[in-house]
Chain A
Amino acid sequence: MIEVDEVAVSLADVDVLEGVSLTVEAGEFVGLVGPNGAGKTTLLRAINGALDPGSGCVRVDGDRMDALSSRAGSRRVATVPQDTSVRFAFSVEDVVAMGRTPHRDRFRGDEASASHVDRALERTETASLRDRRISTLSGGERQRVFVARALAQDAPALVLDEPTASLDINHAAETLSLVRDLVDDDRAVLGAIHDLEAAGRFCDRLVMLSGGEIVAAGSPEDVLTADALAATFDVESVVTPNPVTGTPAVTPVSTTDETTRQVHVLGGGHVGARAITQLRAAGHEVTAGPFPHGDTARTVAERLDVPAETVAPFSELDRETLARTRERIADAAVTVLADLTLAPSAVQLELASAAPRLVVVEERPVSERTSGGDRNARRYERLTAQAPQSHIDDIANAVASAATNPPDTSVPEEYRLTKDDLQGTR
């Protein structure tokens, strides 16, 4: 029924599909799976005629889709769109009746409309919603209405773009079993489905798309294998038969340690800013500072809602701020020294010494960021001698592995905060 033959599509000079071939027979429900950006939607668009393939062709019921008018094409392929939000107060009946558009004569209308609409509403159990406004329905109800619309369209082929993407599990299963029923009316159905387990459960066959090519095709058991998933989705997983349905159940196994840790970032500028951003993105609870007013890192911290202490311009770090920062550093599992600039006062070094674990990021040599004389440079080197070094791009991993080390409790006497240190600090 649907025959896709060596279809290639490039959009804006990017090859989205490269030589994809597949067939869907009448009475068959084929699931299209694959990661985001694999080309699933593009393939569906090529099939329903929304875009013309650069090469290859799509035939539905023997006719080339790219040669058909929109009207003739939509009599062959009905589409259930991904986005079913309707911002207009059409009634459910109006929306379903829109499915009759390809059969409608501009002046005579469509005599069969009423009966098709009634049947579609009946079939999808949406008859009770008939007079409701579509914009007041829940996502699951709306999805059924759009399936009803596709039914009213009375086309032999049906394509669905992520019909369950926005639904909770009960509605997703409901929608897919409804689609399953339609297949048994001798329709050819192709659906892009992101939920692998649901795809395995409801589809007769699966086609796995990755990078614009088909990487696996066949029965759900053949396609949903740990190896194929690892190659396509870049995820370690365990595939076991679902005890209830007997179809493949996919359980992703996380390879990264997802534990949230409290991390403090000491040192500002662009290195500090990137450290904050990346640690935050990795899910850590980040604190930072103290920063001079106007520092890049401070702006970033503020934008990411990261608590950070600030030193007002032309004033000194007051005792209270210092105490607060020190406490944060002591509480943090890891403190990152982000290309730390060594001021004449040793305040930052003193603060760093409170950290149970350190990770050091250095972009400039120590000599270039010292204005506090050799003594501070030597202190810095001593303090960081045992600490792991990290490149700024790898900071999240470095922090994760450092966090598993035992805390370093030996705080050298010379880093104790002195009254002198509090003076002359900006």
Chain B
Amino acid sequence: MCNIYLANENLFVTVSNSRFPAIVAGLLVALVLTALTSATIGPVSIDLSTVAKATVNAVGVPVGLSVTTETGTVLGVGVPVPTPSLSYHYPFDFAVADTSETIVRKIRLPRIVLGASVGFALAAAGTVMQGFFRNPLADPSIIGVSSGAAVGAVAAIVFSIALPLPLMAFAGALLAAFAVYAIATQNGETPVATLLLAGVAIQTFLGAVISFLLVQSGESLREAVLWLMGHLHNSTWAEVEVTLPLALLAVGVLYAYAHDLNVLLMGEADAHALGIEVERTKRLLLALSSVVTAAAVAVAGVIGFVGLIVPHVMRLLVGPDHRILLPTSALAGASFLVAADTLARSGAAEIPVGIVTAAVGAPFFLYLLRRREVHTV
């Protein structure tokens, strides 16, 4: 494994535990401000106070849950697809012009909230993976999650499978992650190095499958390629309703394991001597971060770099302690993706957000690299 540990120690900050809540609160405020600002930007400019009012109006309290079952067709066979739907009560009702309210509530907000959820999920998963692999190159898709999702999604597009695309992508993502895990596991042990190599091999293989599907795609090529680039176009509240709770829940559980992740950084033998059930913890961390990543990739496609650079940058700012690193990375990832998506949609023609994150993220990352700040996890 290419672990390069030449950290410039002086750049690391050790943040005392007492400052954790303040930092997290600050990042939350930054996220809300970014989101509101983003909602003012678009073909129609809407001022901040209108956006704020419309946003508050959009805050709903879930009061009921119902499940309807629709039937999808896969290869000519009807498959029941359960669709949960929540009913909400909206406690606020500020006076806002109808058009503005519709634009903010129906078009911009779902996209912004979905972007925040996806950024939150990817950055959190990236943080966990970098710590887990003790490797600065690790990112959320290192064990094949994104490639698996891409195969599922592209297959859905190319073969016009009647199942919802996000479901196909989600299933593909988890299948790929599970395959990598199963291949790398022997006698109940999953060496991290083997996992990494198996991940690379499966990613390469799935890359070939994607290329093959694209060659076969014909008319649907454009749609497939756009999906692969990562996008938040046409986001709906329905997607938010699935992704956001899933991401919050899984990251919440990951947060409960932040201390274990710290101890794992000391090495597996040491972690065992300190009372960590190493293999079980590894399984859990892998499963959770795969689910988090899958939930993000399924709705937004392959958005690169968020899960790689955001954790690195936050590690520089708050240090290696996952109890602070995990929540701050997740919140910073959310703000970053909202900002990047705003950029992506504010030009004359909308471009996939994956292009923006990579185009903005890569030079920034290289800048950090040249300043010798990012050489370590």
A interface, CB within 8 angstroms of B: 45, 48-50, 69-75, 77-79, 81, 83, 86-91, 94-95, 98-99, 101-102, 104, 106-107, 131, 133, 135-136, 153
Pair B278/A70 contact, Cβ less than 8 Å: yes
Q: Which residues of A contact B275 (CB under 8 A)?
A: 70-75, 101-102
Known A-B contacts: A74-B272, A88-B376, A89-B14. Give 10 more (CB < 8 A).
Answer: A70-B272, A71-B276, A87-B134, A89-B7, A90-B262, A94-B14, A94-B262, A98-B274, A131-B14, A133-B14
8 contacts between A and B (CB under 8 A): A73-B275, A74-B273, A74-B275, A88-B376, A88-B377, A98-B274, A102-B275, A106-B256
Pair A74/B14 contact, Cβ less than 8 Å: no
Q: Which residues of B contact A153 (CB under 8 A)?
A: 274
The answer, among B3, B134, B270, B377, for a CB contact under 8 Å with A81, is B270
The answer, among A73, A99, A101, A135, for a CB contact under 8 Å with B7, is A135
Pair B321/A50 contact, Cβ less than 8 Å: no
Q: What distance in Å separates the Cβ of B335 from its nearest Cβ neighbour in chain A?
A: 24
Name the residue on B nearest A90 (C-beta). Answer: B320
Pair A98/B262 contact, Cβ less than 8 Å: yes
State which size class the interface on B falls in: 20 to 34
Pair A94/B277 contact, Cβ less than 8 Å: no
Those of B256-293 within 8 Å (CB) of chain A: 256-257, 259-260, 262-263, 265-267, 269-270, 272-278
Assess A99 versus B321: contact at CB under 8 Å? Given A87-B5, A131-B14, A135-B9. no
Q: Which residues of A contact B277 (CB under 8 A)?
A: 69-71
Pair A88/B274 contact, Cβ less than 8 Å: no
| A-B CB proximity, top 8 nearest | A102-B275, A74-B275, A89-B12, A79-B273, A71-B275, A101-B274, A87-B5, A88-B320
Pair B270/A104 contact, Cβ less than 8 Å: no
Chain B interface mostly: loop
Pair B276/A70 contact, Cβ less than 8 Å: yes
Complex alpha-carbon distance, A74 and B263, angstroms: 13
A74, A77, A88, A136: which has the most chain B beta carbons within 10 Å?
A88
Those of B70-101 within 8 Å (CB) of chain A: none
Those of B230-263 within 8 Å (CB) of chain A: 256-257, 259-260, 262-263
| B191 within 8 A of partner (CB) | no
Assess A102 versus B266: contact at CB under 8 Å? Given A89-B12, A136-B9. no
Q: What distance in Å separates the Cβ of A166 from its nearest Cβ neighbour in chain B?
A: 16
The answer, among B134, B272, B319, for a CB contact under 8 Å with A50, is B272
Pair B274/A107 contact, Cβ less than 8 Å: no
Q: Which residues of B contact A107 (CB under 8 A)?
A: 256
Q: Which residues of A contact B263 (CB under 8 A)?
A: 98, 101
Pair A81/B274 contact, Cβ less than 8 Å: no
Task: List the count of A-B residue pairs having beta carbons below 8 Å apart.
Answer: 84
Q: Which residues of A contact B276 (CB under 8 A)?
A: 70-71, 101
Complex alpha-carbon distance, A73 and B275, angstroms: 7
Q: What distance in Å separates the Cβ of B271 from its nearest Cβ neighbour in chain A?
A: 8
Pair A133/B273 contact, Cβ less than 8 Å: no
Complex alpha-carbon distance, A286 and B377, angstroms: 45
Name the residue on A nearest B321 (C-beta). Answer: A94
Assess A74 versus B262: contact at CB under 8 Å? Given A89-B9, A89-B12. no
Those of B332-377 within 8 Å (CB) of chain A: 376-377
Pair B259/A133 contact, Cβ less than 8 Å: no
Pair B266/A98 contact, Cβ less than 8 Å: yes
Q: What distance in Å separates the Cβ of A42 from its nearest Cβ neighbour in chain B?
A: 12
Q: What distance in Å separates the Cβ of B276 from its nearest Cβ neighbour in chain A?
A: 6
The answer, among B7, B274, B321, for a CB contact under 8 Å with A74, is B274
Q: Which residues of A contact B321 (CB under 8 A)?
A: 90, 94
Q: Which residues of B contact A83 (CB under 8 A)?
A: 267
Name the residue on B nearest A75 (C-beta). Answer: B275
Name the residue on A nearest B14 (C-beta). Answer: A91
Contact flags (1/0) for B1-15 with A, using CB distance below 8 Å?
A: 001010101001010
Complex alpha-carbon distance, A418 and B5, angstroms: 61
Complex alpha-carbon distance, A223 and B259, angstroms: 44
Pair B266/A86 contact, Cβ less than 8 Å: yes
Pair A133/B9 contact, Cβ less than 8 Å: yes
Q: Which residues of A contact B267 (CB under 8 A)?
A: 81, 83
Q: Which residues of B contact A71 (CB under 8 A)?
A: 275-277
Name the residue on A nearest B316 (C-beta). Answer: A89
Q: Which residues of A contact B319 (CB under 8 A)?
A: 89-90
Pair B278/A88 contact, Cβ less than 8 Å: no
Complex alpha-carbon distance, A50 and B189, angstroms: 13
Q: What distance in Å separates the Cβ of B277 from its nearest Cβ neighbour in chain A?
A: 5
Name the residue on A nearest B5 (C-beta). Answer: A87
Q: What distance in Å separates the Cβ of A275 from its nearest Cβ neighbour in chain B?
A: 38
Q: What distance in Å separates the Cβ of B301 from its nearest Cβ neighbour in chain A?
A: 33
Complex alpha-carbon distance, A107 and B253, angstroms: 11
Complex alpha-carbon distance, A93 and B214, angstroms: 54
Complex alpha-carbon distance, A89 and B256, angstroms: 21
Name the residue on B nearest A146 (C-beta). Answer: B270
Those of B1-32 within 8 Å (CB) of chain A: 3, 5, 7, 9, 12, 14
Complex alpha-carbon distance, A95 and B274, angstroms: 11
